[in-house]
Amino acid sequence: MRILVIEDEVKIAQFIKRGLKEEGYAIDTAQDGQEGYSLAGSNEYDAIILDLMLPKMDGLTLCKTLRKEGNQTPIIMLTAKDTVKDKVKGLDSGADDYLAKPFAFEELLARLRVMLRKKDGRLQTQLKVDDLTMDLLTHQVTRGGREIELTVKEYALLEYLMRNAGNIVTRTMISEHVWDINFDTFTNVIDVYINYLRNKIDSDYSDKLIHTVRGKGYLLKK
């Protein structure tokens, strides 16, 4: 999952970025509304975390503009203003959720998980393909009942493959959702991580789940 954080307070932005990266999310950041608008319009994000008080373009204006242009990326709005009137303004501008500062990171994470599940139209907390299971809350991955230890990036890649099980995902699609804006598309990093997953997911089983579709990308299926 790739998240855009639009926050002008550097310490808060870095706090959110560090915490979300530890959870396996790919994070891009913007420090003003115009930069955030540019990134949101030129990249595909799974969610946007948007501060209300921003230089150059405030959060309400940015949110309204994105919605007017048809951008339906889920948005969590952050603000120090926590009155009912302010919350209503934020939600009426098109935000999906509203979180007042200061906030506990665990709450932000929980709200983000709920919002992403709603986006997928699924409320389950578990992904399953054949005998491969991923718990989205505990991050536990098992196959045939045997627990599989994954790094943060391996988990993020596998989650993307499982969310798109049965469909071919290209290297471009993977880079856009699993890595951030600084990813070098000319490297073989994606292929390397696919091999890491194969060694952990498929090597001990006759039924392979991760398949290469020559000239197109990868496919996770039974």
> Residue 22 maps to which CATH number?
3.40.50.2300
Last residue of a domain, one of 103, 120, 137: 120
Q: Are residues 113 and 69 in the same domain?
A: yes
- Measured in residues, the chain has a length of 222
- Average model confidence (pLDDT) for the chain? 88
Q: Are residues 105 and 147 in the same domain?
A: no
The CATH number of the domain where 157 resides is what? 1.10.10.10
Q: What is the pLDDT of residue 150?
A: 94
Q: Using the Cα atoms of residue 91, residue 93, residue 94 and residue 98 in order, give the sign of their dihedral.
A: negative
Q: Are residues 130 and 110 in the same domain?
A: no
Whether residue 47 is predicted with pLDDT greater than 90 in this model: the reply is yes
Residue with tokens 């696919």: 194
Angle 141-137-208 (CA atoms, 0-180°, nearest 5)?
25
* pLDDT tens digits along 9-28: 999 999 999 989 888 888 99
Q: What is the pLDDT of residue 116?
A: 79
Mean pLDDT of 144-151: 92
Q: Are residues 178 and 113 in the same domain?
A: no
Please state, in angstroms and rounded to a whole number, the distance separating the CA atoms of residues 26 and 46.
10
Q: Are residues 136 and 97 in the same domain?
A: no
Whether residue 119 is predicted with pLDDT greater than 70 in this model: the reply is no
Q: What is the pLDDT of residue 146?
A: 92
If one compares 120 and 167, the residue with the highest pLDDT of the two is 167
Whether residue 85 is predicted with pLDDT greater than 90 in this model: the reply is no
* Order of all β-strands in the sheet with 132-135: 126-129, 132-135, 141-143, 146-148
Last residue of a domain, one of 120, 151, 181: 120
Listed ranges 54-68, 73-87, 91-105; the one with the highest mean pLDDT:
54-68
Q: Are residues 106 and 134 in the same domain?
A: no
217 conformational bin, left if phi > 0, alpha if psi -120 to 50, beta if neither: left
Cβ–Cβ under 8 Å, residues 139 and 155: yes
The candidate with the shortest Cα–Cα distance to 113, out of 139, 84, 94, is 139
Q: Which two tokens stand for residue 170?
A: 């290209």
Q: Express as a percent the part of the chain with pLDDT over 90.
A: 50
Number of domains present in the structure of the chain: 2
Q: What is the pLDDT of residue 124?
A: 63
Q: Which two tokens stand for residue 6?
A: 């639009």
Q: What is the pLDDT of residue 185?
A: 72
Please state, in angstroms and rounded to a whole number, the distance separating the CA atoms of residues 87 and 76.
11
Q: Are residues 116 and 130 in the same domain?
A: no
Please state, in angstroms and rounded to a whole number, the distance separating the CA atoms of residues 152 and 133.
16
Q: Are residues 101 and 192 in the same domain?
A: no
Q: Are residues 116 and 157 in the same domain?
A: no
Q: Are residues 90 and 148 in the same domain?
A: no
Cβ–Cβ under 8 Å, residues 39 and 181: yes
Q: Are residues 38 and 147 in the same domain?
A: no
Q: Are residues 10 and 108 in the same domain?
A: yes
Range of the domain at 167: 126-220
Whether residue 97 is predicted with pLDDT greater than 80 in this model: the reply is yes
